[in-house]
Amino acid sequence: MKALLLENVHPLATTLLTEAGIEVDHRPGALDEAELVEALRGVQLLGIRSKTEVTPAVVEAAEDLLAIGAFCIGTNQIALAPAAERGIPAFNAPYSNTRSVVELALAEIIVMARRLTEKDRALHDGVWRKDAKGSHEIRGRRLGIVGYGNIGSQLSVVAEMLGMEVYFYDIQDRLALGNARRCGSLEELLDIAEAVTLHVDGRDGNAGFFGREQFERMRPRSLFLNLSRGFLVDYEALRDGLQSGHIAGAAVDVFPVEPKKSGDPFTSPLQGLPNTVLTPHVGGSTEEAQEDIGRFVAGKLRDYVSYGTTTLSVNLPALTLQHVPGDHRLTHFHTNTPGVLAKVNHILASHGVNIGGQLLGTQGHVGYVVTDVDSPLNEDALAELHDLPETIRLRVID
């Protein structure tokens, strides 16, 4: 069993997979499509972060690939549906770095409210600029959170503890935490908030979500933050708002086009603007978060290859069947059509195989059944299961 880990995934992931008997190839940067196809020859497990694109062509070409781990929150860089159709589960870390992103957002709100970047730059240039003009406390200020999921809701709680009034907007019906107030529309939130921060997901429909119209709708001298996805925002429009003074400050951690690896050149229309904080996609990049992500996602990959466990898979049915020592486990991905489970069990019964435990789950067009048997499966039984017209992927775990 071999694993390919890209983009400086935390070393703990290598340790956990190696301890499970998996050979690990650990590389620092991202790979493009052609490079990834070549690197995945003979590889069963792939670990990436946000820069590597696992395209449909990569999924189609990776004949040996069993599972994909996204060592981050987002999975929009993975062709999830094509992977599901080939019985390749994808796992991510939806909770591990939420605190890191929350702390960065709050730090940047304070930095912008106090205009610390300008004071820092002046001192580095040898100019002592001690005044209170344009500097504000965040206590009592109105924070507008767009997207109230894991990160947005935690930010809501911590910001309120610092004395901010919290408003949020989400297309889903989310429970308001603390004294946070729900807005019925994005426009309502923009009319109220003095600082607006985006925490929405990377689905295709969100491209260009926040543009010139939204920036012009924001209150004069408001602050803006984007720590979610670069393609959500029209940064040319943000630049114009900053240059005109309508937007008092901006903090951006994500960009439509990002370098593949550390040290590569970078350009943005936001460079050189006053009271603008630019960070290189480091919202979740704390040592604590990366260690936890490394442990969490590597554990999911290990458990899948060892036991067929798909709990928290983002694209396939989530199943966990308790392992009984001595049993042999059969995992079977199939097209989700009526009667497949009956066919599987009929084949097992016809070969005198006793089922000790079994779970079935379906998601969309794909079904997944995990079966434990108390005796080894013979080649004829496996061949019949493999030849079922509905079979997508069959695997035996001893």
Q: Which of 114, 141, 239, 281 is catalytic?
A: 281
| Packing angle, helices 116-124 and 98-113, rounded to 10 | 70
Per CATH, the homologous superfamily of domain 1-96+286-315 is NAD(P)-binding Rossmann-like Domain (3.40.50.720)
Per CATH, the homologous superfamily of domain 317-390 is ACT domain (3.30.70.260)
Q: d(Cα 296, Cα 311) in Å, to the nearest integer?
A: 12
pLDDT, tens digit, 9 for 90 and up, residues 207-224 = 889 999 999 999 999 999
| Contact predicate 278/270, CB 8 Å | yes
What per-residue confidence (pLDDT) applies to 307?
Answer: 96
Q: d(Cα 241, Cα 247) in Å, to the nearest integer?
A: 5
What per-residue confidence (pLDDT) applies to 358?
Answer: 96
Q: d(Cα 328, Cα 372) in Å, to the nearest integer?
A: 6
Q: d(Cα 33, Cα 60) in Å, to the nearest integer?
A: 12
Strands 355-363 and 181-182: unpaired
For 62, counting Cβ atoms within 10 Å of its Cβ (0-12 exposed, 13-18 middle, 19+ buried), the class is: buried
Q: d(Cα 259, Cα 171) in Å, to the nearest integer?
A: 31
Residue 165 known to be catalytic: no
Is the sign of the CA dihedral 157, 162, 163, 169 positive or negative?
negative
Is the sign of the CA dihedral 368, 371, 376, 380 positive or negative?
negative
What per-residue confidence (pLDDT) applies to 203?
Answer: 78
DSSP class of residue 383? H
Does the pTM of the predicted model rise above 0.85? no
| Contact predicate 254/99, CB 8 Å | no
Q: Which of 258, 291, 384, 390 is catalytic?
A: 258
pLDDT, tens digit, 9 for 90 and up, residues 307-347 = 999 999 999 999 999 988 888 999 999 999 999 999 999 99
What per-residue confidence (pLDDT) applies to 263?
Answer: 85
What per-residue confidence (pLDDT) applies to 260?
Answer: 80
| Contact predicate 37/25, CB 8 Å | no
Strands 45-48 and 23-26: unpaired
Place of tokens 């939806």: 94
Structure-token pair, residue 212: 């010139």
Q: Which of 229, 302, 329, 334 is catalytic?
A: 229
Separation in Å, CA 56 to CA 3, 6, 32, 234: 20, 18, 13, 28
Residue 395 known to be catalytic: no
CA dihedral 171, 173, 174, 180 (to 10 degrees): 80
- Can you list the residues of the chain whose pLDDT is less than 70? none
Place of tokens 């040996």: 64
What per-residue confidence (pLDDT) applies to 206?
Answer: 84
Ranges of CATH 3.30.70.260 domains, the chain: 317-390
Ranges of CATH 3.40.50.720 domains, the chain: 1-96+286-315, 98-278
Which residue from 347, 348, 328 is spatially nearest to 397, judged by alpha carbons? 328
Residue 229 known to be catalytic: yes
Structure-token pair, residue 43: 């590889």
| Contact predicate 314/91, CB 8 Å | yes
* Helix (H), strand (E) counts: the chain: 13, 16
Domain 98-278 top-level CATH class: alpha beta
pLDDT, tens digit, 9 for 90 and up, residues 141-169 = 999 999 999 999 999 999 999 999 999 99
Q: 278: which strand partners?
A: 252
